[in-house]
Amino acid sequence: MSAQDQIRETVTTNDVVLFMKGTKMMPQCGFSSRVAGILNYMGIEYADVNVLADADIRQGIKDYSDWPTIPQLYVKGEFIGGCDIVTEMTLSGELDQLLEKSGIAYNKEAADKIREANA
């Protein structure tokens, strides 16, 4: 199976996927750590894909999304963005709206606490 096929299968069979450097329990870059931290704190169930473990996936995800950086967040097969976009969406409440619209469970109180802490 090609890297593109693996990526397509991963993003279509999981409601939320984070392509990142490291894992959700042990991120290996600050940007991946920030996005994983947001998702973990908000109690969102997600699949994590460590791009450092496979060079074909690492390059393949950049080609798949036409986005040059990692991490990359997908919800219901749709590319959402990287660290800055996910952070901005979290602080504005847009991420909450996207999760609700997509039927993804999350802890609303935790999301509110993130916004309060960054107000």
Distance CA 8, CA 73 (A): 13
Domains and CATH numbers, the chain: 3-117 (3.40.30.10)
Tens digits of residue pLDDT in 53-88: 999 999 999 999 999 999 999 999 999 999 999 999
Q: What is the pTM of this model?
A: 0.96
What is the structure's pLDDT at 119? 85
Concatenating the DSSP letter of every residue in 33-67 gives HHHHHHHHHTT---EEEEGGG-HHHHHHHHHHHT-
Residue 27 has pLDDT above 90, yes or no: yes
Return d(Cα 117, Cα 53) in angstroms, integer: 34
Q: Is 29 marked as a binding-site residue?
A: yes
For the CA atoms of the chain, what is the radius of gyration? 14
pLDDT band at 5 (very low <50, low <70, confident <90, very high): very high
Which of 103, 111, 119 has the alpha carbon at shortest distance from 39?
111
Q: What is the pLDDT of residue 107?
A: 97
Q: Which CB contacts under 8 angstroms, 24+ apart, belong to 93-101?
A: 95/38, 99/44, 99/75
Structural contact between residues 57 and 51, judged by C-beta atoms closer than 8 angstroms: yes
pLDDT of residue 77: 96
